[in-house]
Amino acid sequence: MNKLKTTIFAICSLVLVNVGTAIADSGNFAGPYVGITISGYGMTLDGSETQAADVVENREANVGATTPVQGFEAGYALPLGSAFLIDVGAAYYNGEAKIDHYGNTSGEVTFKIDDLRSFYIAPTLVLSDTSSLYVKAGLSEADVTVTGDVTSPGNLSGETWALGTRTVLDNGIFIRTEAGYTEYNGISAQGKGTSIAATTSYAAKPEIAYGLVSLGFRF
């Protein structure tokens, strides 16, 4: 994760060094916008089960899934000079991932993660009248549903880092391409003691790598 952040900021710094050579107009990208997104999401869920010390049984699982995800975004790009903008926005994606555990004595436990949301800021460098490059930092959230005789964990929160481009057309339509990574906090649940012992705990830690294409309109 630290290596990804370092790479993104290194690219951004290298481009900004040459900002004085850009012949561009940030006004072509400024203002409010909305977009519809199609993404390819690769989600990894690392899960584990830990039973009481006298049982001496620990299980781990890893689930990886790649799926198309649809969503929408809205934001505002504020120009800061002729070749630089600050883009602030929010996005929603309807992706879903699950991790299941089946045990002869522990019953069944499923973690489901869906309704992904992101709130972001994206410093943007205008490369030409129609093209721009940005780095994005965001706070991401997702809903968590758990089934089984276990306690309910809280929802997910985490950080998103991304690098992307935005191309605008004369009629206000824009095309955005983006690649990024989201790392969420871990979630955990404890057995309630009916079919799953209270000494049994479950945990999952989701991570997402994605590629995104967005078609939108700038007002």
**pLDDT tens-digit series, residues 26-53:** 888 999 999 999 887 777 766 666 665 5
CA distances from 114 to 93, 141, 181 (A): 8, 9, 17
Strand partners for 158: 140, 184
Q: What is the pLDDT of residues 139-174, one digit of tens each?
A: 999 998 888 888 888 888 999 999 999 999 988 899
Non-local (6+) Cβ contacts of 132 within 8 A are 24, 29, 85, 124, 125, 126, 165, 166, 167, 168
- Structural domain boundaries enclosing 163: 2-218
Give the global pTM. Answer: 0.78
* pLDDT given for residue 187 in this prediction: 81
> How many domains is the chain built from?
1
Residue 54 DSSP SS3: coil
* Burial tier of 217 (Cβ tally within 10 Å: 0-12, 13-18, 19+): middle
Query: Which pLDDT does position 101 carry in this prediction?
Result: 66
* Pairwise CA distance, residues 35 & 6, whole Å: 29
CATH number at residue 154: 2.40.160.20
- pLDDT tens sequence across 48-103: 666 655 443 444 444 455 667 789 999 999 999 889 999 999 999 887 777 776 65
- pLDDT tens-digit map of 7-22: 555 555 544 444 444 4
